[in-house]
Amino acid sequence: RKEVEQDPGPFNVPEGATVAFNCTYSNSASQSFFWYRQDCRKEPKLLMSVYSSGNEDGRFTAQLNRASQYISLLIRDSKLSDSATYLCVVNQAAGNKLTFGGGTRVLVKP
């Protein structure tokens, strides 16, 4: 079983619609959680950190469910520019290394 699992997609989303997807992690001792965005052939860029209480940044909302060991990302009012691969990233309990999921591809279409 992978340490961090994501639905690879693609999620085909009409412009203006809402899309949500999850990520599960296997290590219950994981301490911090992030969503990164990666455009084709570019580096990952931090989208948002994910806190236990859930957090929102504009059109993006992230949730953490420690009991079920998953995090989620919701994008409201999708824009064409939201098309990207969204990487679920977990900081395991030991040390500072990040563990990446394989990414969820989102395609926003007019």
Q: Which residues bind other proteins (CB under 8 A)?
A: 2, 4, 31-32, 34, 42-46, 49, 87, 91, 95-103
Q: What are phi and psi of 17, to 5 degrees?
A: -85, 175
Q: How far is the CB of 14 from other proteins (least distance, A)?
A: 29
Peptide bond before residue 10 is cis, with ω within 30 degrees of 0: yes
Evaluated on CA atoms 87, 38, 51, 17, the torsion sign reads negative
Q: Which residue number, 42 or 59, has a Cβ lying nearer to other proteins? A: 42
Is the Cβ of residue 44 or residue 86 nearer to other proteins in the bound state? Answer: 44
The tokens of 15 are what?
A: 């412009």
Q: Smallest distance from the beta carbon of 110 to other proteins, in angstroms?
A: 29
Nearer Cβ to other proteins, position 2 or 109?
2
Hey, what are 81's tokens? Answer: 């520019």
Q: How far is the CB of 79 from other proteins (least distance, A)?
A: 22
Asked if 23 and 100 count as a contact pair (C-beta separation under 8 A), the reply is: no
* Nearer CB in complex with other proteins: 71/108: 71
